[in-house]
């Protein structure tokens, strides 16, 4: 599949640490050439959003004991605080040479999981674009801990693509794309140029990263592509090591793997409903989990119905009414995500009960749905 720039109006580009950082310094020449590509695409009326890594790696070169193989959480946060200043000042200086204005946005999973914060961020990015400024987005590693971390910038980039209704997500890496085996350890690994559905076979092809400065690997890119596809945003994984990588991608000078599909799970003409669905698709750390039986699992996937209490057999976490939860089958497979109608304490009282039994417990106005179809998305 050939990429034609005229087919895309808004693109999210993720730059990994392995591309941006070399010998604990920013690759100035590479970033300058990248800025040149950005300028050319903007002149073609393409809207670009950048998700960047590199803050921890840069801060480590300044603060950390270089003999340490692994940093503590506190050390990583301190490195991110120092490194983020250097990272953004370099973006500012280089992009300014091409009359490009950059803006910094730092996010955590809490920002993305809160519907209000999510919409606020969406509005900020849209306003920046309208004012010809390029959003440079990174996870807020200086304050994030495991409970509020998205975890890697591949999934953060996918979250941003969902949030901004982007037409394409580009994940620049240090590898050409997806292979059926790890090409660094298997000489007979076969390159895969296009994936139309991400299933267990595709996920099993992905292995961990060998990068010294990155936090993700191919598995996180597959997860990111899956998240983006749920919002109907194609994803490209390709190498970005060489100069002018962005330009070469659109002039058929590069190998890449594209994840795209012909069908659509999210075709609502209601923009508000579509935005809510995209938000739900991208939740990565929910407040709780609902375990459902096989009948409920089949019903959700085949009929696109609400999740009734009668089909829920177990609960995990500590959620309140209105929180986002994951819905999993008895094999621990993530089936759907949704906004729950009951707190955990109340939900425990109605597990596996039908509507008449629920009315006897909570009254005639009680809802039989633990998650209503309007607040539910299928993710497999």
Kindly state whether residues 164 and 227 are assigned to the same domain: yes
End position of a domain, from candidates 259, 279, 297: 259
Domain of residue 223, residue span: 5-259
In a domain, 270, yes or no: no
Residues 26/16, Cβ–Cβ less than 8 Å: no
pLDDT > 90: percent of the chain:
59
**Residue 330: predicted pLDDT:** 95
Any domain includes 273: no
pLDDT tens track for 118-136: 999 999 999 999 999 999 9
Residues 137 and 26 occupy one common structural domain: yes
pLDDT band at 67 (very low <50, low <70, confident <90, very high): low
For residues 218 and 332, membership in a common domain is answered with no
How much is the mean pLDDT over the chain?
Answer: 88
Residue 212 has a pLDDT of: 41
Q: Is residue 265 part of a domain?
A: no
Measured CA angle at 265 (ends 259, 271), to 5 deg: 110
Q: Give domain status of residue 266, yes or no.
A: no
Residues 6+ apart with CB under 8 A from 168: 3, 8, 10, 11, 12, 161, 233, 234, 235, 236
CATH number of the structural domain spanning residue 370: 2.30.130.10
Which residue's entry shows tokens 């809510």?
Answer: 276
Are 315 and 357 members of one domain?
Answer: yes
pLDDT at residue number 211: 46
- pLDDT, residue 148, reads 43
Say what the alpha-carbon torsion angle 339, 342, 348, 350 is, to the nearest 10 degrees: -110
Q: What pLDDT score was predicted for residue 210?
A: 47
Mean pLDDT within 309-326:
95
128 shares a domain with 13: yes
3-state class (DSSP) for residue 49: strand
User: Would 78 be classed as within a structural domain?
Assistant: yes
How would residue 105 be classed by pLDDT, with cut points 50, 70 and 90?
Answer: very high
Tell me whether residue 349 is in a domain. yes
Domain containing residue 139: CATH number: 3.40.1160.10
Lowest mean pLDDT across 54-63, 183-192, 266-275: 266-275
Together in a domain, 13 and 54: yes
> Do residues 54 and 167 share a domain?
yes
Is 282 inside a domain boundary? no
Strand partners, 129: none
Among 259, 277, 297, residue at a domain's last position: 259
| pLDDT band with cut points at 50, 70 and 90 for residue 208 | very low
Strand partners, 14: 51, 171
Domain count, the chain: 2
Residue 145 in this model has a pLDDT that exceeds 80: no
Residue 369 backbone class (left: φ over 0; alpha: ψ -120 to 50; beta: rest): beta
What is the pLDDT at residue 254? 87
- 301 and 357: one domain? yes
Residue linked to tokens 């605080």: 81
* pLDDT exceeds cutoff 80 at 264: no
Tell me if 84 sits within 8 A of 49, measured CB to CB: no
- Taking the CA atoms of 330, 332, 333 and 338 in sequence, report the sign of the dihedral they define: positive
Where are any strands of DSSP class E within the chain?
Answer: 10-15, 21-22, 25-26, 47-52, 101-107, 133-139, 168-173, 178-179, 191-192, 194-195, 235-239, 257-259, 288-292, 307-308, 312-317, 324-328, 334-339, 369-371, 376-378
Helix (H, G, I), strand (E, B) or coil at 143: coil
The label of the residue with tokens 């270089």 reads 66
Indicate if 332 and 373 belong to the same structural domain: yes
Q: Does a structural domain hold residue 277?
A: no
Question: Which contacts of 61-65 are long-range, i.e. CB under 8 A and separated by 24 or more positions?
Answer: 61/24, 61/25, 62/86
- Whether 246 and 297 map to the same domain: the answer is no
Query: 250 and 351, same structural domain?
Result: no
0.75 exceeded by the pTM? Answer: yes
Rounded to whole angstroms, how far apart are CA atoms 380 and 229? Answer: 11
Co-location of 187 and 298 in the same domain: no
DSSP 191: E
């Amino acid at each position: 599949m050939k990429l034609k720039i005229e087919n895309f109006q808004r693109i999210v580009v993720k730059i990994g640490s392995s591309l941006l950082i070399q010998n604990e310094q920013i690759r100035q020449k590479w970033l300058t050439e990248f800025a040149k590509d950005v300028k050319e695409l903007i002149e073609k009326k393409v809207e670009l959003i950048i998700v960047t890594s590199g803050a921890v790696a840069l801060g480590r070169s300044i603060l950390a004991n270089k003999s340490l193989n692994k940093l503590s959480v506190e050390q990583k946060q301190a490195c991110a605080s120092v490194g983020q200043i250097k990272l953004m000042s370099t973006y500012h200086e280089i992009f300014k040479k091409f009359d490009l204005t950059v803006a910094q946005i730092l996010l955590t999973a809490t920002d993305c999981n809160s519907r209000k914060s999510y919409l606020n961020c969406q509005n900020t990015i849209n306003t920046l674009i309208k004012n010809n400024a390029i959003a440079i987005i990174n996870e807020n590693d200086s304050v994030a801990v495991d409970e509020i971390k998205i975890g890697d910038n591949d999934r953060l980039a996918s979250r941003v693509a969902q949030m901004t209704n982007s037409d394409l997500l580009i994940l620049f890496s240090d590898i050409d794309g997806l292979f059926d085996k790890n090409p660094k350890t298997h000489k007979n690994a076969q390159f895969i140029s296009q994936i139309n559905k991400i299933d267990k076979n595709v996920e099993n092809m992905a292995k961990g990263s060998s990068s010294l400065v990155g936090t993700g690997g191919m598995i996180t890119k597959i997860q990111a592509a899956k998240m983006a596809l749920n919002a109907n945003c194609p994803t490209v994984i390709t190498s970005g090591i060489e100069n002018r990588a962005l330009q070469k991608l659109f002039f058929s000078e590069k190998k890449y793997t594209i994840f795209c599909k012909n069908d659509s799970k999210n075709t609502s003409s209601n923009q508000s409903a579509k935005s809510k669905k995209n938000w739900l698709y991208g939740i990565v750390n929910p407040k709780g989990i609902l375990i459902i039986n096989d009948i409920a699992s089949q019903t959700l996937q085949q009929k696109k119905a609400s999740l009734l209490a009668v089909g829920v057999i177990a609960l995990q976490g500590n959620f309140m009414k209105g929180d986002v939860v994951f819905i999993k089958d008895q094999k621990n497979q993530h089936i759907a995500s949704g906004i729950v109608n009951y707190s955990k304490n109340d939900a425990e009282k109605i597990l596996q009960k039908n509507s008449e039994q629920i009315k006897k417990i909570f009254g005639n106005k009680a809802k039989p749905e633990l998650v209503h179809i309007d607040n539910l998305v299928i993710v497999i």
